[in-house]
Structure 1
């Protein structure tokens, strides 16, 4: 496999696993189960159930167990928009001169920001989540694949479209027939409807995951290998963030949309680009302050000027797209900025914007693609041109545009037929998402182990990318496919807390609710001569392995890396550069702060779904998910304290301690002297009884009478009963036998395990 990329899909079974292997290393790994399918990218018709001005957010019922979270920055000015588009001939024939070059676009952006006041601070967001920017298209973060190109500061409203050829373009083949998902159940259904089966043709244009960043799992639907930095800068998906910025983006709820520079569309009186007004009481959103990344590139963001209570009301119906799956105790994160990805383009109906993948470096090709898209797109809408569109003929791009517009119009028509909550449009399943987004010309072959899915992929690729059809292979070996390609062993390594480095050092990776901590240790590596060189070598190797593990485990949110302390600043810079270079190949959005003098790195990585570790594991039932237990010695000493606390309250002369066998061994062994001291002090007999079925932390203490006293009490009861009136001779003769049997039973109980009935209500324990 050296020097090649292979897309391996394990679909034989109840779960689907996808691994992109490059040069013998797993670069991408995704997991989806039939019973636990993700919903990122699904489009719903929802109903606002609660508006929270204090959080500047709302909760929307989309048919899931928990209401979804909608931040004010993700609310389109008219979240209930339902206009279809019309594509009229020549509408954009003269639009090319309006499209600025990359440099002009940045200059216009700088002037626009300078003219705007600083946005007001937003209210508190959902706990542990920071608000995303207002109008960034879901696909604009396509592994950073979209280089924003501002053509016009204002935005256009949605308008009906008649699908006709643009002026000057060659005849476009008729798009494939659109197969519409069957309508979801009635709105009164409490649970979210199941995603209906779809034809492969429609699947090509299902909604983009809100973080079009280069993977089929919503972190990156861009073609494999896309980078987030422009060609002039080092390939890097991250930027060096200032502390204040990192704090704002530290929450895992961010959906990584800082690359959006499209604007919401206002109501126009006409179709001309210069004739734009406001829609209702909604104006354009002000553009927020730009931020500089580590390469001097400004990231543009927009801040909403309206309050959530002005945009949404309880009971209002809205069209939303899931940006982030429910994770832990949190519900899904949603946005009203919709994105629909195709093979070559991503359609954004709410944003007036054209973006070109940064991986397309030739200015002439970028301009050609922008011209084609700008002439065909409905006014006021946006498109992202993906990396796979490079050198693609115009008719294919036009067919993609028409098809995506058809899909959007069908969503709007479906929306008018159903009540909220309802699923309007499901996203692709993992297999076809991976085929669409990862199976590119850079991939040597696609291998899958299921015949039915193999046939489905063939049909899909034949329609979308016929030149790749010969590179699809059905695996028919006896050995499981992931074993045959060496993937299974690497996945087992990724599930371990301790990860060994080739040099002999190791990493400790601990995932908590709010952050992930990574500790770098020297382990068995002792170096050669210089301590500083030894530490620098371990840290440099660890930096690459850490990024690999983050990608493989799909870890997101706040990440703290504790490198071994380095004295020389140049060595810290060397390790930081190694970390940056490794992150440059990561399609997920990351923000990184420089290594501190303590050797710490603070960074964030966009999280859309649960990490692989959390998906494949569950909290330990024995330790209750804590990862540790009270030691046997601690439990033994707690028993001693419990005896001191409760012994005076027991009238019985015998105390029985039931506990785990290992704890009992300590009580009866090395700490026997303490047990004898307590027996002498309280004048009681203490019996320790091991219970194999007890948890290590479990014990109980209760009192009971000793055997001799119980026998005397029975004799007293027998004598009193013998003097009772009306007792016959036979009863009197049988009494000694009953007493003997009772005494025998009492002796057995004292010698064996205690019966709870002997100490009703008298037990103490844990």
Structure 2
């Protein structure tokens, strides 16, 4: 697999596109007005303890208080002996916390007191003594080799814990030492600042998006990183020289006149990623709907092919859909509960193969996923860890006309509501004339197909009715004014 990273930089926002074999897989967007907060460390102050929820709200200087659950404070271990939230925190207490989930919708940020600071090869855990290895490194001998390499530096490790990252497979003992020294120095400055700062202030901000790309997304498959900003490419090369020299030669400035995202077709793919419908090469398609509680994905064949080949066509469509769904989850950054309605398959073996294909396609996903067996209703239930807003929530806002429903009342429905309102007004008030203000589509229907009904209503109430188009009204809006 060949992998390319494209970085588009403007003063207002930075966008990163991850391409695998020339196909867009992931998009990251960081706007100067609304930077992501995940990874930032704050000195917070407990403003409310909720014993019933085993949680607390913490003021960290944001618009809304952030949420801290007892599981993100207490030491990991035996659940039976874990202290309650009331034993750990009290109102007015200062606490050092880190953001693990950005504020989303009406919810505040999610916090943890288990601080973690990543470097190229390691994750530093100052409040732990454990040494672990990334679960993505599956070979047991390799896990032991890396753990031994780290523990050989026990004089530098002190009383803190570490997780060895997947990228450490290519690390040398010298580069591992460099990482430990860097993390020790950084934690020293964070500790010093946390003592001096007032509650509600940020103590440490995570790296900017281009630098996080270097720290977190460099692997053996990466061919190059193309950046359309000369200044940003220089900063990235300088960062690489200090922390990851192997990435230095892969960073290049793109000087072309044509926008870099246009050159690779990324803009078109982003637009497709905002639509409900995703087409499959076989002629089938996916319908993807995001709601507050979950995301639903419906798989359709798109055309009926006859009885003889129907089961085989359904099977092939579902296999293709499994690949497409894994890509769409990454591209749209969909998280939380996801329900997939594959086309019903008669053969048990086909169902098992589609499920395996989905799980294999999800192996490439950086976010943690968990797939359940096919339910009795033929649905596949899965979860995907959500730490930042989806692509739709970053780039879009709720439609003011339909208010997120995805549909509006028809002009015919609005007409009949107008008739009912006219009757209501005529019975309640002594009007000499009524004026109906409505959208163009509703007025057109009233003077055309519903003109007889309007005339009969006018005779019935004995009051003349005038009509007026209001160009700013939506199809659902209308007013009946007494003259």
Does 2:190 match 1:411?
A: yes
Does 2:40 match 1:46?
A: no
Does 2:442 match 1:663?
A: yes
CA change 1:365–1:649 in 2 (3 A) is closer
Indicate the residue corresponding to 1:318 in structure 2.
95
Q: Deviations over 1:153-185 (max 9, x none)?
A: xxxxxxxxxxxxxxxxxxxxxxxxxxxxxxxxx
Partners of 2:47 and 2:91 within 8 A in 1: yes
Partners of 2:11 and 2:32 within 8 A in 1: no
Matches within 5 A, 1:451-530: 451-524=230-303, 526=305, 529-530=308-309
What SS does the aligned partner of 1:585 have? coil
Partners of 1:594 and 1:601 within 8 A in 2: yes
Does 2:429 match 1:644?
A: no
What SS does the aligned partner of 1:36 have? coil
The Cα shift of 1:622 comes to: 2.5
Indicate the residue corresponding to 1:582 in structure 2.
361
The Cα shift of 1:623 comes to: 2.4
Q: Deviations over 1:703-737 (max 9, x none)?
A: 4xxxxxxxxxxxxxxxxxxxxxxxxxxxxxxxxxx
CA change 1:527–1:320 in 2 (3 A) is farther
Give the whole-Å Cα distance in 1 for the aligned partners of 2:362 and 2:212. Answer: 23
Give the whole-Å Cα distance in 1 for the aligned partners of 2:305 and 2:73. Answer: 56
Matches within 5 A, 1:510-589: 510-524=289-303, 526=305, 529-589=308-368
Q: Identify which of 62, 68, 71 aligns with 2:69.
A: 71
Give the whole-Å Cα distance in 2 for the aligned partners of 1:323 and 1:662. Answer: 48
Matches within 5 A, 1:334-733: 334-360=111-137, 363-377=140-154, 378-524=157-303, 526=305, 529-703=308-482
The Cα shift of 1:360 comes to: 4.3
Indicate the residue corresponding to 1:211 in structure 2.
none
What SS does the aligned partner of 2:374 have? coil
RMSD: 1.9
Larger radius of gyration between Structure 1 and Structure 2: 1
The Cα shift of 1:654 comes to: 2.8
The Cα shift of 1:363 comes to: 4.7
Partners of 1:441 and 1:468 within 8 A in 2: no
Q: Deviations over 1:417-458 (max 9, x none)?
A: 112122111111111000111123321111101011111011
The Cα shift of 1:540 comes to: 1.4
Matched residue pairs, number? 481
Indicate the residue corresponding to 2:4 in structure 1.
6
CA change 1:633–1:416 in 2 (3 A) is same
- Extract unaligned runs of 5+ from structure 1: 78-134, 136-284, 289-302, 704-758, 760-766
Give the whole-Å Cα distance in 1 for the aligned partners of 2:85 and 2:445. Answer: 62
Give the whole-Å Cα distance in 1 for the aligned partners of 2:139 and 2:310. Answer: 47
Indicate the residue corresponding to 2:107 in structure 1.
330
Give the whole-Å Cα distance in 2 for the aligned partners of 1:305 and 1:642. Answer: 61
Give the whole-Å Cα distance in 2 for the aligned partners of 1:364 and 1:26. Answer: 34
The Cα shift of 1:371 comes to: 2.0
What SS does the aligned partner of 2:262 have? helix
Q: Deviations over 1:540-559 (max 9, x none)?
A: 11111111101001010111
Partners of 1:46 and 1:319 within 8 A in 2: yes
The Cα shift of 1:334 comes to: 0.5
The Cα shift of 1:43 comes to: 0.8
Partners of 2:39 and 2:99 within 8 A in 1: yes
Indicate the residue corresponding to 2:15 in structure 1.
17
Give the whole-Å Cα distance in 1 for the aligned partners of 2:342 and 2:266. Answer: 28
The Cα shift of 1:527 comes to: 6.7
Give the whole-Å Cα distance in 2 for the aligned partners of 1:489 and 1:658. Answer: 40
- Extract unaligned runs of 5+ from structure 2: none
The Cα shift of 1:657 comes to: 2.0
CA change 1:392–1:643 in 2 (3 A) is closer
Stretches of 4+ aligned residues off by more than 6 angstroms: none
Give the whole-Å Cα distance in 1 for the aligned partners of 2:460 and 2:218. Answer: 78
The Cα shift of 1:570 comes to: 1.8
Partners of 2:74 and 2:83 within 8 A in 1: no
Q: Identify which of 34, 43, 51 aligns with 1:36.
A: 34
The Cα shift of 1:660 comes to: 1.8
Deviates more, 1:380-389 or 1:410-419: 380-389
What SS does the aligned partner of 1:593 have? strand
Give the whole-Å Cα distance in 2 for the aligned partners of 1:410 and 1:398. Answer: 19
Q: Deviations over 1:481-524 (max 9, x none)?
A: 11112222211211111111111111111111111111111114
CA change 1:527–1:325 in 2 (3 A) is farther
The Cα shift of 1:323 comes to: 0.5
Partners of 1:365 and 1:391 within 8 A in 2: no
Partners of 2:73 and 2:114 within 8 A in 1: yes
Indicate the residue corresponding to 1:740 in structure 2.
none
The Cα shift of 1:698 comes to: 2.0
TM-score of the aligned structures, taking structure 2 as reference length: 0.95
Give the whole-Å Cα distance in 2 for the aligned partners of 1:421 and 1:548. Answer: 39
Partners of 1:504 and 1:525 within 8 A in 2: no
The Cα shift of 1:16 comes to: 0.8
Relative contact order: is structure 1 or structure 2 higher (C-alpha 8 Å, sep ≥ 6)? Answer: 1
What SS does the aligned partner of 2:430 have? coil
Give the whole-Å Cα distance in 2 for the aligned partners of 1:25 and 1:623. Answer: 34
CA change 1:631–1:469 in 2 (3 A) is same
Deviates more, 1:3-12 or 1:643-652: 643-652
Deviates more, 1:66-75 or 1:690-699: 690-699
Matches within 5 A, 1:84-103: none
